[in-house]
């Protein structure tokens, strides 16, 4: 008879495994070094997660949850959409989140090369943020079409600027470009309302 999985222990192991992958990346991910770093055996990881691929899927889900923390919004009904975008940008470009976003882009690249292996990631990588921003924009008066267009543009521009920021480290130039983009987006919205 198989041992029952201790779900509290599993959750703690998952957080530690996610921290490990955020720091070390996916390229050379192996259960033995990870288990050693977490202070457990590879058998313990298999018991709690199943295969290496199942563990990887759980880690990617946890990374996704952490990335969505950037969009923490107390009350979407009254949230200023441009403030939401700016706050998310500041969260994403914080030095303490640099490793998280390096991993994010590593996962993104891997998912584009092997979509069948990263299907869940690809299903959510655009729609998570698109849904959040579209909702906030609509609640602030944008038409559904306008909200979807603005949200799509914001997701694309912010991701491109974030990739530039991680690549070059040129915070001043990239942040200035972000502020210009946000100003243009706000002006476009005001013009559409007028």
Residues 55, 124 share a domain: no
Name the token pair of 65: 């949850």
How much is the pLDDT for 74?
Answer: 63
Looking at residue 1, its pLDDT comes to: 44
Residue 103 lies in a domain: yes
Kindly state whether residues 80 and 41 are assigned to the same domain: no
Q: Is residue 88 within 8 Å of residue 50, measured between CB atoms?
A: no
Q: Which two tokens stand for residue 20?
A: 């490990």
Q: What pLDDT is attached to residue 2?
A: 55
pLDDT of residue 9: 86
114 with 151, same domain: the answer is yes
Q: Give the DSSP letter string of 106-169.
A: HHHHHHHH-TTTTHHHHHHTTHHHHHHHHHHHHHTT--HHHHHHHHHHHHHHHHHHHHHHHHH-
Domain end among 39, 62, 85: 62
CATH number at residue 50: 1.10.10.60
> Could you tell me which of 99, 100, 108 has the C-alpha nearest to residue 155?
108
Structure tokens belonging to residue 157? 């521009």
Residue 169 shares a structural domain with residue 128: yes
Closest CA to 91 of 184, 185, 178, 183: 178
CATH number of residue 160's parent domain: 1.10.357
Give me the half-sphere count of Cα atoms (radius 13 Å) on the Cβ side of residue 132. 23
Q: Are residues 105 and 181 in the same domain?
A: yes
Is 2 part of any domain? Answer: no
Q: What is the pLDDT of residue 68?
A: 85
Please indicate, yes or no, whether residues 174 and 120 belong to a single structural domain of this protein: yes
Contact predicate 126/62, CB 8 Å:
no
Assigned domain for 1 exists: no
| Same domain flag for 85 and 165 | yes
Q: What angle do CA 58, 63, 64 make, to 5 degrees?
A: 95
Domain identity same for 101 and 150: yes
Q: Are residues 25 and 74 in the same domain?
A: no
pLDDT along the chain (194 residues), means of 10: 71 93 90 93 90 92 87 68 90 93 95 93 93 91 92 96 97 97 86 60
CA distances from 132 to 8, 30, 75, 161, 187 (A): 30, 35, 12, 19, 21
For residues 42 and 105, state if they share a domain: no
**Statement to judge: residues 79 and 56 lie in one domain:** no
> Which residues constitute the domain of residue 49?
7-62
What is the structure's pLDDT at 58? Answer: 93
Please tell me whether residues 94 and 179 are part of one structural domain.
Answer: yes
pLDDT number for residue 176: 97
Does some domain include residue 80? Answer: yes
What total number of domains does the chain contain? 2
Give Cα 52 distance to the centre of its chain: 22
Q: 3-state DSSP call for residue 18?
A: helix
């Amino acid at each position: 008879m198989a041992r029952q999985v201790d779900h509290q222990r599993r959750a703690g192991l998952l957080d530690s495994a996610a921290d490990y992958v955020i720091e070390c990346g996916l390229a050379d991910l192996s259960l033995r070094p990870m288990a050693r770093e977490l202070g457990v055996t590879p058998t313990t990881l298999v018991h709690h997660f199943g295969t290496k691929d199942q563990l990887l899927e759980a880690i990617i889900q946890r990374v996704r949850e952490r990335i969505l923390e950037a969009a923490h919004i107390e009350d979407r009904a009254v949230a200023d959409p441009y403030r939401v975008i700016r706050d998310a940008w500041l969260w994403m470009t914080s030095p303490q989140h640099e490793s998280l976003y390096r991993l994010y882009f590593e996962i993104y690249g891997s998912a584009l090369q092997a979509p069948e292996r990263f299907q869940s990631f690809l299903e959510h990588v655009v729609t998570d943020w698109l849904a959040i921003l579209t909702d906030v924009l609509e609640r602030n008066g944008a038409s559904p079409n306008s909200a979807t267009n603005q949200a799509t543009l914001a997701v694309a521009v912010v991701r491109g600027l974030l990739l530039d920021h991680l690549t070059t480290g040129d915070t001043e130039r990239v942040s200035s470009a972000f502020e210009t983009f946000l100003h243009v987006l706000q002006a476009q919205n005001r013009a559409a309302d007028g």
